[in-house]
Copies of this chain bind each other. A is one copy, B any other.
Amino acid sequence: MFEARLVQSAILKKVLDAVKDLLTEATFECSDSGIQVQAMDNAHVSLVSLNLRSDGFDKYRCDRNLSMGMSISCMSKILRCAGAEDTVTLRAWDNPESIVFIFESPNKEKLAEYEMKLINMDQEHLGIPETSYSCVVKMPTTEFTRICRDLSQFGESITFACSKEGIKFSASGDYGSACNLFSLLTLLKCKGNSTFSSMPRFSNIKLAQTADADNEEEAVTVNMQEPVKLTFSCRYLNCFVKAGPLCNQVQLSMSDDVPLVCEYKIGDIGHIRYYLAPKIDDEEEN
């Protein structure tokens, strides 16, 4: 028997919101140590890795390892039926054909049960090597979400440029060129600088490294071995930011020619990580 209970069903709701734009179905690997999902998005471009540790649940029992294929859209529909204060229990039997979601209201008056049929899915567990990254940036999720949304109005991809002075996000617009030619530091110091006028429409956003240790949730910190500059598709970034409600800070890990890791903690229970390869564009390289 498999049974996992979370007093805050809202967490599971947010997890589903964080993956439902990328995955239509996924295999949930349940073992004694917890629940794991690892899946490529539908277009096989990005990778989602979800980890919920057993000790993070309010009750957890898994008699034998289970691989359960689930429809993400159906699961998401079911979780929408949970009240904001409800406790959720997931339950399945050995060799299950279905999984049951049980929602209990705080006063125990209402009990809702949803049984969802499982899906047969091919399983391929992808090995993700642990790497050390050139730059690791932590910033408020609201800020990152906003930047991805704002800049994607102006182009299909966003360039992340990381240096000791901070991180710069930029996008180039309809007129084709990108804004690679100036240092933001220079820009900040000598506003009279005239490199702008010869450039076509572009947009960039810079966040300084904040030293304000009092307010860790609002801090932007850059931990850099060497500078990186990588370009990513807006479409996927805008899917990743759906995980924003899970966590106040997002962590971006970057190295040249290696996929970006975009990580959100899920309370004390685990994390969700998105992997996305940078765009390789000869014109970008100059």
Q: Interface of A with B (CB < 8 Å)?
A: 74, 77-78, 80-81, 83, 91-93, 96-98, 100, 108-117, 143, 146, 150, 153-154, 175, 179, 184, 187-188, 194, 196-208, 210, 220
Q: Are B197 and A109 in contact, CB atoms less than 8 angstroms apart? A: no
**Which residues of B have CB within 8 Å of A97?**
197-198
Q: How far is A199 from B115 in the complex, measured between Cα atoms in Å?
A: 8
State the copy count for this chain: 3
Q: Within the complex, which residue of B92, B117, B146, B200 is in contact with A175, where a contact is CB–CB below 8 Å?
A: B117
Q: Are B113 and A203 in contact, CB atoms less than 8 angstroms apart? A: yes
Instruction: With both chains docked as a complex, state the minimum distance between the C-beta of A153 and any C-beta of chain B, in angstroms.
Output: 5
Q: Within the complex, which residue of B110, B146, B179 is in contact with A206, where a contact is CB–CB below 8 Å?
A: B110
Q: Within the complex, which residue of B109, B153, B179 is in contact with A210, where a contact is CB–CB below 8 Å?
A: B109
Contacts known (A77-B153, A150-B81, A153-B81); A197 close to B112, Cβ less than 8 A: no
Q: How far is A114 from B80 in the complex, measured between Cα atoms in Å?
A: 39
Q: How far is A63 from B83 in the complex, measured between Cα atoms in Å?
A: 51
Contacts known (A77-B153, A117-B175, A153-B77); A110 close to B205, Cβ less than 8 A: yes
**Which residues of B have CB within 8 Å of A200?**
98, 115, 117
Q: Would you mind naming 27 contact pairs between A and B with Cβ atoms under 8 Å apart? A: A77-B153, A80-B150, A80-B153, A81-B150, A81-B203, A83-B146, A91-B196, A92-B197, A93-B196, A97-B197, A98-B196, A109-B210, A110-B143, A110-B208, A111-B184, A111-B187, A111-B188, A111-B206, A112-B205, A112-B206, A113-B204, A114-B154, A115-B199, A115-B200, A115-B201, A116-B201, A117-B200
